[in-house]
Amino acid sequence: MKRFALLTALLVAITPSLFADEGMWLVGGIDKGLMSKMRSAGLKLSAEEIFSENGASLSDAVVALDFMGTGSFISPEGLLITNHHVAYADIHSISTMEHNWLEDGFLARERSQEIPITGRRAFVLKKMLDVTEEVHYVQDSAAKTSKPALSRRLSYIMEKRYADAFPGCEISFESMWRGEKYYIMVYAVYNDLRLVAAPPACIGAFGGNVDNWEWPQHKGDFAIYRVYTAPDGTPAEYSPDNVPLCPEKYLTINAGGLRGGDYTMVMGFPGRTNRYNSSYAVEYAALSANPITVKAQGEIMEIMNSHMERKPETRLKYADSYFSISNVQELREGEMKALRRYGVPEICRLRERELQAWIDAAPERKSRWGSLLPDMDAAYRKVHDAKLQVLRFREYAIRGCESMTIATKLDSHIRTAVGKGNTDPEALVAPLTAEEAHKLYPDMDLALEKERFVHSIVRMDSEIGRAELGAAFNEMADRFGGDVEAMARWAWDHSFFSSPEAFIGFTSTEHPLSAYHSDPAMALLKSVSIADFNRSVTDIEEKYGKLSHYDAEYTHALYEMGLDKGIPQYPDANSTLRLTFGHVCPLHPSDARFVAEKSTSKGILEKYDPTDYEFNVNDDFLALLKEGDWGRWGDRKDGKMYVNFLSDNDITGGNSGSPVMDAKGRLVGLAFDGNKESLCSDAYFHPDYCKTVSVDIRYVLWILEKYLKADHLLSEMKIINQ
């Protein structure tokens, strides 16, 4: 009994929901218990002021930017602020060597200069409906027919039903706790977004990949759009006749500054967490999968960076791609280390012992889940090696080189042209138009792409193993006496992939299917597909059970145990609107180390290095920093310019750009990063080490006024100093 009591105590000590600063809570599910915790932490608002379906509330000011980042309205005329790195791809897409808005920064001095961003959408949550009982009725009814309501069909049925009820809105059907609860999210969607302002990358991304996930940081990580609507105020596609949106709610900006211990609240659309993962899934990530990803992406980054350093035009072409790869690579590396450091697999095993004891304590639970954990353990072990082969193929073949992307798209065209399943070598493939060919073959640095192609082919051979790479790969390797690098270089040089001229020249004329298949690069890239590797996983799961089924049942069991024990629970993040609360706080990252909760402009000058792209700033900005005229944005007590700050809010990817609000719901910063010690937070939130890194709104306002000279934008905002 003493051992069981100790185990229970250990489990309670690590239960995330018991920490006031942890939890990505659904904004539509704020109950009295959560409100009590937030008020004790310092909140000065009511639940209705945070989220209301009957009137304007803070949630109406928070938007999902294509569910890849978050933004917030900051003026009655549709100004929307987010992170520079959320807007990075948009800024990159409109930049040229003549107008390099990424490197030079951008400001529309009048509305006619605001640049429309094709494809960018803003989603505002209008309603959140619990439809769990309705879903169960649909499932029960469908089970009596020949068309059971499986996941995709269930989504279609529910979204169609509510689309009819809310015309003009976008409907999203969401499962929580892997099917324990179901919700309908109703969104107003705005399609006309225009870029208004962005600092240059040397400000917005100062420190670059080197400082990513680190603390202290010194990034001016913000960008501003304006949202437009039709003249009648309804969402509309871009038109010069559109007018700025009048949002139901926009945020007041508090330029009074934050102090250590001040309440902070973040609202946003966090992407994915796996806090209900088993020890088997965590160990797979920490010990097996992440090391492969970190190594593979690190090698690709080295290749890309070597070419980007030599040619500015190459840097511009690959800036967005490199940024994306580096962000994921460092995340996975940090996640791997943190999972090990905090002993997360063992924490999960403690939870599983508690879960098994709870299951065994009741016959009905034992009947449903009695063998869940041992069966799950066996399935994960059996499928382990096959899953790693899938991952290696994805990292080295698919993500490793742009040529695979081109080959896959071209293969789709070929199948359409000759008919799916047609393998007749004499079947003729219709030519592509020049426009179609250009879309398939992007503007690339050919020396870089050749090196990526060769590297990918060599790594496929060494990491996956030739026996699994298909007949075409093996036959060609044999012709080169097993010298795979020589084979890869020859294949590139003799392929229509080797240049846009060769690609367009070949695909613009009619050829038989055999001509495409005999292209050496195409033959290597299509010798085997990821479907072949996935099939191996499927074969094992048919015998031992699907991991997705075990994961779902494991989550259901944990959820039911939480209900039974009266433990407050929040569902894993899934790009729905969430709230998290905490406080401004310092960090003790490791033994004998302490770092303060705020960074200042002094740190930019200390890091400044004109020979290092990541830590260089332009002359105009450098002069402003040295002058030190902070105006009305300097701290009231010590006169310093605070740049970034730490808080213990619980966030993840998708929260980038989320408004950080004070106890009265006023904007004080923008969340943009986590610290390196927090990088296992998708699986486990550590109450001492998991922090949010945010840009101080005063630094943003100073950049707008002093550097960008954007007084006309400041005049739109409601700014107080309290």
Measuring CA to CA, which residue among 341, 333, 324, 345 is closest to residue 289?
Answer: 333
Buried (b) or exposed (e) across 234-272, using 16+ Cβ within 10 A?
ebbeeeeebbbbebebbbbbbbbbbeeebbbbbbbbbbe
Q: Exactly one of 57, 72, 84, 85 is catalytic; which is it?
A: 85
Closest among 254, 288, 287, 341 to 721, alpha carbons compared: 254
Give dist(CA 79, CA 704) in Å, integer: 14
Question: Active-site residue 673, yes or no?
Answer: no
Q: Do 397 and 473 form a contact (C-beta atoms < 8 A)?
A: no
Residue 146 phi/psi, 5° resolution? -85, 0
CA dist 37 → 19, 260, 568 (Å): 10, 19, 11
Terminal Cα-to-Cα distance of the chain (whole angstroms): 55
* HSE (side-chain half, CA atoms, 13 Å) at 419: 7
Q: For residues 187-196, b (16+ Cβ closer than 10 Å) or e, as one string?
A: bbebbbbbbb
Catalytic site residue from 221, 445, 650, 682: 221
Distance (Å) of CA 687 to CA 19, 25, 339, 621, 675: 7, 16, 14, 37, 13
Instruction: Specify whether the backbone of 167 is left (phi greater than 0), alpha (psi in -120 to 50) or beta.
Output: beta
For residues 551 and 349, give the distance between their C-alpha atoms in angstroms, rounded to a whole number.
Answer: 15
Phi, psi of 687 (to 5 degrees): -65, -25
Q: Which residue among 656, 678, 681, 694 is the active-site one? A: 656
Enumerate helices (H) and strands (E) in the chain, giving the number of each: 29, 23
Is position 656 annotated as part of the catalytic site? yes
The conformation of residue 198, written as its DSSP 8-state character, comes to E
Look at residues 207, 209, 211, 198 and name the one whose alpha carbon lies nearest to residue 84: 198
Alpha-carbon distance 235 to 287, whole Å? Answer: 47
Token output for 648: 């213990």
Number of Cα atoms under 13 Å in the Cβ half of residue 284: 19
Cα separation of 266 and 672, whole Å?
11
Q: How far is CA 81 from CA 89, 90, 641, in A?
A: 15, 14, 20
Q: What is the DSSP letter of 147?
A: S
Fill in the amino acid letter for 296: A
Q: What residues have CB less than 8 Å from 333, skipping those under 6 apart?
A: 290, 294
Catalytic sites, residue numbers: 85, 221, 656
